[in-house]
């Protein structure tokens, strides 16, 4: 059995009860154009959604029809139109990319950069101090390595320099033409002055006796190292030594006035001046150096200084 269309069924029920569209409009407050669209099944003219369902319930209630039955018929009749008017389904979007590994890599890189920056910040003062100490050591070595101007020895200069002595009175001659005396001064005579005789060498000491100490007017420095270290020795302003000495190596130097000794490892250097052991080197202005003179012998005899 064929089922009656929804629009025709609704119109027939209204006409069977003798209700016009105007009366239905007044009773349900539904505009006439929507009533005509419902009876003609022109779904595109209706507002749709809950409004259409509200219209069906109001009409069924006024005409004393089953509201649920009328709604079921309406859903069945309007389903093709609603499905055709429904928007096409959206395409499935791809799932979002997992960025966890990217974030982890960025965090590790940031941590490494921060660690490097912190390390540089902490090491900068130590690096500056190391450069300063290197510069001071280089300045100390350069100071010791600069030779002073030679001071001539009075004894040797007096021995080598010739002395002018007055010559005899020049002889007078007479010029025969002018009858005037003609005096020709003789050239000066250079008489070398010999150096004072050196005292005879002392008699050799008996076998087994201690060696004689050097004369007090001459300074004799003995340098002995226990470890390999760089040593610089200046005597009377002249560079006598500037090199690395090996363990156990000993060097001896002579000077008239003073010695300047510099090293980077003072604990490995032992000094003797004229046979007297000198105190260890001390720090002066960030450099390890010492100046030894004849007064150092006096201080060594009197006690430590």
Q: What is the pLDDT of residues 48-82, one digit of tens each?
A: 889 989 999 999 899 888 889 889 988 988 888 77
- The residue ranking higher by pLDDT, 205 or 144, is 144
Task: Name the band, by pLDDT with cuts 50, 70 and 90, for residue 157.
Answer: very low
Residue with more model confidence, 286 or 273: 273
pLDDT tens digit sequence for 202-249: 444 445 544 454 555 788 999 998 988 888 899 988 999 988 899 989
pLDDT of residue 161: 47
Average pLDDT value for residue range 4-25? 89
Residue 72, domain extent: 6-85
- Residue 276's CB is within 10 A of a number of other CB atoms, namely 14
Of the residues 69, 85, 101, the one at which a domain ends? 85
- Structural domain contains residue 162: no
From 85, 101, 119, the end of a domain falls on: 85
Under 8 Å CB-to-CB from 234, ≥6 apart: which residues?
144, 145, 147, 240, 259, 260, 261
Quick one: which H or E segment has residue 136? helix 100-145
Domains contained in the chain, number: 2
Domain at 16, CATH number = 1.10.260.40
Quick one: average pLDDT of 169-193? 50
The pLDDT score that the predictor gives to residue 254 is: 92
Residue 298 in any domain: the answer is yes
Does residue 95 carry a pLDDT above 60? Answer: yes
Has residue 179 been placed in a domain? no
Q: Residue 17: is its pLDDT beyond 60?
A: yes
pLDDT exceeds 80 at position 83:
no
Whether the predicted pLDDT of 261 surpasses 80: yes
Domain presence at residue 131: no
| Lowest-pLDDT choice from 107-116, 133-142, 147-156, 178-187 | 147-156
Has residue 234 been placed in a domain?
yes
Please report the pLDDT score of residue 33 as a whole number.
Answer: 92
Please check whether residue 74 lies inside any domain of the structure: yes
| C-alpha torsion sign, points 135, 141, 147, 153 | positive
Predicted pLDDT of residue 113: 95
Domain end, chosen from 85, 101, 118, is at 85
What CATH number corresponds to the domain at position 243?
2.60.40
Residue 30, domain member (yes or no): yes
| CB environment 200-238: b (16+ within 10 A), e (fewer) | eeeeeeeeeeeeeeeeeeebbbbbbbeeebebbbbbbee
Please indicate, yes or no, if residue 184 is contained in any of the structural domains. Answer: no
With a CB cutoff of 8 Å and minimum separation 6, the contacts of 244 are 228, 229, 230, 231
């Amino acid at each position: 059995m064929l089922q009656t269309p929804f629009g025709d069924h609704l119109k027939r029920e209204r006409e069977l009860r003798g209700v016009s569209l105007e009366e239905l409009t007044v009773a349900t407050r539904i505009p006439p154009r929507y009533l005509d669209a419902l009876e003609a099944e022109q779904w595109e003219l209706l507002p749709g959604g809950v409004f259409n369902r509200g219209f069906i319930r109001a009409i069924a209630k006024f005409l004393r029809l089953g509201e649920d039955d009328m709604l079921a018929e309406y859903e069945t009749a309007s389903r093709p139109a609603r499905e055709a008017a429904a928007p096409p389904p959206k395409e499935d979007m791809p799932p979002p990319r997992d960025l966890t590994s990217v974030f982890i890599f960025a965090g590790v890189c940031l941590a490494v950069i921060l660690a490097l920056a912190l390390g540089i910040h902490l090491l900068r003062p130590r690096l500056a101090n190391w450069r300063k100490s290197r510069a001071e050591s280089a300045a100390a070595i350069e100071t010791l390595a600069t030779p002073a101007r030679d001071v001539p020895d009075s004894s040797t200069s007096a021995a080598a320099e010739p002395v002018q002595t007055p010559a005899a009175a020049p002889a007078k001659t007479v010029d025969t033409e002018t009858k005037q005396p003609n005096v020709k001064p003789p050239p000066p005579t250079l008489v070398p002055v010999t150096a004072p005789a050196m005292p005879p060498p002392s008699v050799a000491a008996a076998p087994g006796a201690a060696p004689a100490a050097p004369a007090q007017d001459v300074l004799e420095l003995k340098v002995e190292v226990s470890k390999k270290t760089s040593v610089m020795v200046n005597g009377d302003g002249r560079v006598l030594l500037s090199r690395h000495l090996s363990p156990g190596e000993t060097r001896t130097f002579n000077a008239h006035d003073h010695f300047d000794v510099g090293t980077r490892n003072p604990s490995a250097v032992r000094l003797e001046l004229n046979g007297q052991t000198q105190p260890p080197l001390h720090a002066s202005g960030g450099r390890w150096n010492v100046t030894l003179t004849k007064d150092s012998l006096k201080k060594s005899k009197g006690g430590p200084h």
